[in-house]
Amino acid sequence: MKTQTVNEVFYEVLEELHSKHLPSRNSFFQRLAAFPHEKLRSSTFLGELYFRYQAACHATRVMIYHIPHLDSPPLRVRKLRFISDDDGLEGGDTHHYQLSRAFAHMGADFIIPDEEFGDLSQLKKLLDPTTVRFLSLVQDLYPNSLGPWCIIEAFADDWMKALMNSLAGCFPSIKKEPYFADCFAQGIEERHARESLNLTGEVLLRSPELLMETIDGARMMAIGLDDFWSGLERLLVEG
């Protein structure tokens, strides 16, 4: 019987998590697509949807600075490319501002200005309990394991497409918003998914003792992401 390598075990777990927790299969996106247009156009509702989603994304952008094990100069350079893509360090636009403009064009009434998306502990004071749980999970997991980061990067392209398609029935022009259009045209999230997997694989080959904590972190993040979508679905039910 063939003995699996640490990478084969990890990739097998990721495939399992992908099949069980792929965001586009979550009922939130189906419910959002079917949400009455008059309710979806509410500036208050759009503002709350934006605030929760932007806060969750903000947490992953903040905590990527703290992911572990990428300490050598070449690994730090590869990590920096993720940060550059998200935060426009090379003179490009940032995902945060692209998203806020997209929701502004839909008519969202913003709860806080962009500049107040800073310290996560302060941000959590303004959020609903489910989104607070997600931010806390990202804060707790990202510094301890590469698994949670892999899950977010592996699922981001899928959930962005699901969000765009769910809103497009009411807001057709959303498909042209840079937050979606530029990202998909350049394959940014797909590239991030591959690179996060490659980086984690290199770390596990060098330090196989990290396998179980990497797997455990990935599982917890996949479950936590499901819980976050469920919180957004409750927002629809309440709306």
* pLDDT tens-place string over residues 144-171: 999 999 999 999 999 999 999 999 999 9
For 170, the 3-state DSSP assignment is coil
Give, to the nearest 10 degrees, the angle between helix 27-34 and helix 147-168.
20
Structural domain boundaries in the chain? 6-14+38-238
- pLDDT grade for 34, boundaries at 50, 70 and 90: very high
**pTM of full prediction above 0.85:** yes
Given a contact cutoff of 8 angstroms between Cβ atoms, the answer to whether 158 and 165 are in contact is: no
Stated length of the chain = 239
Q: What is the CATH number of domain 6-14+38-238?
A: 1.20.910
Look at the block and give the residue holding tokens 């509702």: 45
At 115, is the pLDDT very low, low, confident or very high (cuts 50, 70, 90)? very high
- The arithmetic mean of pLDDT across residues 100-115, rounded, is 96
Calpha distance 117→51 (Å, rounded) = 10
Average pLDDT over residues 184-202: 93
Handedness of CA 186, 53, 224, 16 (dihedral sign): negative
Helix (H) or strand (E) holding 92: none
